[in-house]
Amino acid sequence: MEEFKKKIKLVSRDLKYKGTIMDIYDDTVEVDGHITHWDYMGKCDAAAILPVLPNGNILMVRQYRLAVDEWTLELPAGKLDYDGEDYLECAKRELEEEAGCKSDNIEFLCDVYTASAFCSEVVRIFVATNLQKGKQHFDRDEEVVVEEWTPENLKKAIYDGKLKDGKTVSGLMTYFTKFNV
Amino acid sequence: MEEFKKKIKLVSRDLKYKGTIMDIYDDTVEVDGHITHWDYMGKCDAAAILPVLPNGNILMVRQYRLAVDEWTLELPAGKLDYDGEDYLECAKRELEEEAGCKSDNIEFLCDVYTASAFCSEVVRIFVATNLQKGKQHFDRDEEVVVEEWTPENLKKAIYDGKLKDGKTVSGLMTYFTKFNV
């Protein structure tokens, strides 16, 4: 990228706080010869899955999110069990744990950075068809309700500003565009 | 949401770290009678804009993002200048500062939560047409290069896992679906 005139150099990355699911750092950065500070969040990557029923409807999960104080409608998703875990294994686990389904036909849909301005996290999103019944079970502090939605109603919820979860909007709309749904 | 059996109650929200653009809290939460801890990030909301040229191409911005160590391709976007600033004013400002354009025809596209699991941030995304030349200028530590992309190439970059910025995937794909592009 030679058209860029400003030079950016990371001088140091200092851990400031360890949370439950995130590590927060203060990056000391040299930009064009002067020193500045940027926030950095290290966070385990995640996987999400878009389960499509034979009738074309999509299985979604509803759960309470304290950070936004809302019962959000989302794709089944979860973080990798450990750094480097296969994204597909994680997606299969979340499909069964949250939506109670298995599938032998899962394909890559898209990758999304949660917040590229300050966070390293990637969410890899898959599409699952040929759904079979599995066994729903949750983490201790988690409880989700599965809902079946038509593509038309999901689009309307997004256009109306009612369905807002970022990975979910990315995944659904990429699916609708790619498969002309 | 009476089908939920687990009761979630915020006991306290304790500030642990103040970063440059974020405040990090430890939430003490009572879930179904036992105490647990969740991360919470307070962060100013933001606006993004999808500028459409008369030929149907889209103006994108390329910039270096240290958190993901990549020259990301994104919609022009920025955070509100203050809590409660009008999202549309913010979007107009970013359209001019980053993409060097003005528009008298801007409409709401969708809202996205950056990360509803731990962060309160909403990004409101708009579509701009009738673009007029404005004056590009950057914040001190910012430098972006404007690129003109066809919808087809943007779709391909997302399907190939090359364009990953979350708000950008959400905004582009919602635009393509809603306007049948």
pLDDT of residue B4: 61
**One-character DSSP codes across A90-140:** HHHHHHHHHH-EEEEEEEEEEEEES-TTTB--EEEEEEEEEEEE------T
Q: Is residue A121 within 8 Å of A46, Cβ to Cβ?
A: yes
Q: Is pLDDT of B56 > 60?
A: yes
Q: Is pLDDT of A119 > 90?
A: yes
Banded model confidence at residue B38, pLDDT cuts 50, 70, 90: very high
Banded model confidence at residue B52, pLDDT cuts 50, 70, 90: very high
pLDDT tens per residue across span A69-103: 999 999 999 999 998 999 999 999 999 999 999 99
pLDDT of residue A98: 94
pLDDT (mean) for A110-136 = 94
SS3 A84: coil
Q: Is pLDDT of A5 > 90?
A: no
What is the maximum span of chain B, computed from C-alpha positions, in angstroms? 59
Partner B contacted by A138 (CB < 8 A) = no
For residues B166 and A153, give the distance between their C-alpha atoms in angstroms, rounded to a whole number.
22
ipTM here: 0.94
pLDDT of residue A68: 95
pLDDT of residue B32: 84
Residues A82-111 as b/e (b if ≥16 CB within 10 A, e otherwise) read eeeeebeebbbbbbbbbbbbbbeebeebbb
CB contact (8 A) between residue A20 and residue B8: no
pLDDT of residue A33: 87
Q: Is pLDDT of B3 > 60?
A: no
| Residue appearing with tokens 């109650």 | B9
Q: Is pLDDT of A109 > 90?
A: yes
Please compute, for residue B155, the number of CA atoms within 13 A of its CA located in the half-sphere on the CB side: 19
Contacts of B3 in chain A (CB under 8 A): 145
Q: Kindly report the nearest CA distance between residue A50 and chain B, in angstroms.
A: 15
- What residues pair up with B157 in beta bridges, in sequence order? none
Q: Is pLDDT of A129 > 90?
A: yes
pLDDT tens per residue across span B16-32: 999 998 999 999 999 88
For residues B104 and B135, give the distance between their C-alpha atoms in angstroms, rounded to a whole number.
15
Nearest Cα neighbor of A181 from A71, A68, A58 is A58
Percentage of chain B surpassing pLDDT 90?
A: 84
CB contact (8 A) between residue A112 and residue B1: no
Partner A contacted by B157 (CB < 8 A) = no
Q: Is residue B40 within 8 Å of B118, Cβ to Cβ?
A: yes
SS3 A151: helix
Q: Is pLDDT of A23 > 80?
A: yes
Q: What is the mean pLDDT of chain B?
A: 93
A105-114, B133-142, B147-156 — which is least confidently predicted? B133-142
Domain A46-178 of CATH type 3.90.79.10 = yes
The reply to whether the predicted model has a pTM over 0.90 is: yes
Identify each DSSP E strand in chain A by its residue range: 8-18, 23-31, 34-42, 46-51, 58-65, 70-74, 77-79, 101-113, 122-133, 145-149
Nearest Cα neighbor of B107 from B49, B56, B149 is B49
pLDDT of residue A3: 53
3-state helix, strand, coil in chain B (%, to 5): 20, 45, 35
SS3 A89: helix
pLDDT of residue A8: 87
For residues A166 and A62, give the distance between their C-alpha atoms in angstroms, rounded to a whole number.
14
Instruction: Pick A113's closest partner by Cβ from B4, B117, B166.
Output: B166
Banded model confidence at residue B12, pLDDT cuts 50, 70, 90: very high
pLDDT tens per residue across span A30-43: 988 899 999 999 98
Banded model confidence at residue B138, pLDDT cuts 50, 70, 90: confident
Q: What is the mean pLDDT of chain A?
A: 93
Banded model confidence at residue B134, pLDDT cuts 50, 70, 90: confident
**One-character DSSP codes across B43-108:** ---EEEEEEB-TTS-EEEEEEEETTTTEEEEE--EEE-SSTT--HHHHHHHHHHHHH-EEEEEEEE
Sign of the dihedral defined by the CA atoms of residues B157, A120, B62, B166, in that order: positive
Q: Which of A3, A20, A21 to mutate to test the interface with B (most CBs of B within 10 A)?
A: A20
pLDDT of residue A81: 94
